[in-house]
């Protein structure tokens, strides 16, 4: 890591004007969520993804508890 800001322009160009769905891995319908809900087994989940994640919201919508 250089720390001199030289890469700023590159990342500004790569990410500038794009939505989060365009610059990151994204899955609209989460298969993992379907499997968790269908199992009926109580589980503890920590979502450590770096970015926008719908897993927690989708599990709550499906009736999971916090």
Q: What is the pLDDT of residues 14-28, one digit of tens each?
A: 888 888 777 777 676
Six-digit token string for 64:
């999971």
Q: Identify the three-state secondary structure at position 46.
A: coil
Task: For tokens 């890469």, name the residue.
Answer: 7
In angstroms, rounded to a whole number, what is the distance separating the alpha carbons of residues 42 and 18? 38
Q: What is the pLDDT of residues 49-58, one digit of tens each?
A: 666 777 788 8
Q: Biggest alpha carbon distance in the chain?
A: 51
- What pTM was computed for the model? 0.48
Q: Tally Cβ neighbours within 10 Å of residue 23.
A: 13
């Amino acid at each position: 890591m250089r720390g001199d800001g030289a890469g700023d322009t590159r990342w500004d160009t790569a990410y500038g004007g794009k939505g989060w769905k365009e610059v990151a891995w994204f899955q609209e319908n989460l298969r993992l969520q379907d499997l968790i809900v269908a199992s009926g087994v109580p589980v503890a989940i920590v979502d450590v993804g770096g970015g926008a994640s719908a897993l927690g919201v989708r599990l709550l919508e499906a009736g999971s508890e916090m």
